[in-house]
Amino acid sequence: MDLINELAYILSKKKSARFDSYLPANSKIRKLYDLVTQKEVLSDDVAAHEIYNTGKADKKYLMLKRNLIQKLSELVFMEDYVVPYEENYVNIQFRVERELNIAEKLILENVYHNPTKIIAKVEHMAEKYYLIDVQVSAAKKFRSVYALKGFPAETEKYDNKVKQLTKYQQYYNEAKGMWEVLYSKTKYTIAKIPEFIFEAYHYSEIIKQWLHEYDSPFMRLYFYKISSIKYDQQNDNQKFFETINSLNKLTQDYHFVKSQQLLLEINYAYALYYRNIRKVDIAEEYLHKCLELSDYRAFNKFQVQQLLFEVKIKQKKYTDAGEILYETFCVPQFELLDNYDKSAWAIREAYLYFIFKAHNYSELFKYLPNIDSSFELNSFLERTKKSSKDKFGYNIVLLIIRLLFMAKSNFSEIDNEGNNLLIYYHRYLKELNSYRTREFFKAVSKMGAKGFEKEIIEERKEILKSRLEKSEENVYDVFELIPYLDFLNMIPEFLSKEIKK
């Protein structure tokens, strides 16, 4: 079902003129398509029952489903790639590659007069838009044409050009690979660790050297992307902001680089920056731009929603946060998320439960699909197993809320759990590049170690407040889902029945 949905999503960008002939109205194949895309049927059993009143193993249903996938695949293949910007490099690359394919077929038949004109046009377009892969391909075809014509000087010229362009192509492919490797390592974690910083610094320095020899907007694109990770990891908000501005300017200087996904990344980065410096209302403005550029079916809307959820909490708009959470859990694509993402959303749900419980907002429990008023700790820990492996990332956020829930369910042993967190702090977090989180984690751990006595809570709260006020920057940490002082103020209400008098 997910493949049908993904193919349908691509086709939804632009209605194909062939669509109705491939999937005729009132046909069974069209009915299956509509069931999956409009009624959001996720089960083969349900679809088979709706169409044939049989099970998913029925041969008629299996053939129908296979036929639908084949028809949709053919439509996707035949239609042009659609992006909102006509001059986008992907549109151009698809067009010129099609021209090169025609030239290649002519050359294979030893016909080389007309291919020369085609290749020359493609070469010009490729150079204009820095399409290095196409440049290499065009140069190779010119070399073949001049060889067929028996022109040694021109053949040698293009042989040398192929060698030079292949070198630049390697720079580009390696730069792209560096970005993809770093992105893959940071995708599912909020950890900020020396390994990521070193790797981002190393990669950016290499690309910087290559840019002296081959200055391409696509090389700069990956340089800025990698640099943004480096500065974000270092909590250097000013340089992070400057890098986003450079990336944004790149899309203005080279319009063909612009794409919906890149604009989404830029607006999301601005939202992160303003979240970091506590200007959450401005962050929200950028996130609303992100919502217009994203879609659950493309799975990029989940990332936007997670940051908007956090912003709503910082604005104390808890009902709005609940609506975001409920919507996210209820969309069909949620079940297709990676388990790391699902785990992180389970943590967000637990934090919202903590807020509702502390403020006695019982009417808002309806926004928590997996939690009722009697929170089940073991079930929560099972749903967040993936996050527990992220020692310098989501596990920090998990351990804090876990301590509060353990205090709620087994208050008599909470001092042991508090001491365990202090051990964790000294083992993993003492050198954490997040001052606010280090101090907050230590404060909550010491409260737990002392059984959350009211006097201890007040004492640690004043100490934490003093230390945070003396810190260099007025920022929010990436781990700070609930502002830390607000969090401490909620603890007594959350544990109102258990805290010692």
Q: Based on the number of CB atoms within 10 Å of its own CB, is 270 exposed (0-12), middle (13-18) or buried (19 or more)?
A: buried
| Number of neighbours of residue 478 by Cβ within 10 angstroms | 22
Of the candidates 350, 355, 384, 394, the one whose C-alpha atom is nearest the C-alpha of residue 370 is: 350
3-state secondary structure 104-142: HHHHHCCCCHHHHHHHHHHHHHHHHCCCHHHHHHHHHHH
pLDDT tens, position by position, 178-221:
999 999 999 999 999 999 999 999 999 999 999 999 999 999 99
Residue 310 structure tokens: 């956090």
Query: In 3-state terms, what secondary structure has residue 478?
Result: coil
- The H-assigned helical ranges of 315-434 are 318-330, 339-359, 377-383, 385-388, 394-409, 414-424
Q: Is the pLDDT of residue 357 over 60?
A: yes
| Orientation of helix 194-213 relative to helix 217-233, angle to 10° | 160
pLDDT tens, position by position, 430-482:
888 888 999 999 999 999 999 899 899 999 999 998 888 877 678 999 999 99
Q: Is the pLDDT of residue 379 over 60?
A: yes
| Orientation of helix 28-37 relative to helix 59-78, angle to 10° | 80
User: How many CA atoms lie within 13 Å of 458's alpha carbon, on the beta-carbon side?
Assistant: 4
Query: In 3-state terms, what secondary structure has residue 345?
Result: helix
pLDDT at 5: 73
Higher pLDDT, 192 or 82: 192
CA–CA separation, 253 vs 82, rounded Å?
Answer: 22
| Number of neighbours of residue 176 by Cβ within 10 angstroms | 15
What are the two backbone dihedrals, phi and then psi, of residue 421, each rounded to the nearest 5 degrees? -70, -35
CA–CA separation, 294 vs 299, rounded Å?
Answer: 8
Contact of 83 with 259, CB cutoff 8 Å = yes
Q: How confident is the model at residue 501 (pLDDT cuts 50, 70, 90)?
A: very low
Q: Is the pLDDT of residue 227 over 80?
A: yes
Residue 73 structure tokens: 């695949």
Q: Is the pLDDT of residue 41 over 70?
A: no
Classify residue 83 as left (phi > 0), alpha (psi -120 to 50) or beta.
Answer: beta
422-441 burial by CB neighbour count: b if 16+ within 10 A, else e? bebbeeebeebbbbbbbbbb
pLDDT tens, position by position, 293-311:
999 988 999 999 999 999 9
pLDDT at 140: 93
Q: What is the pTM of this model?
A: 0.85
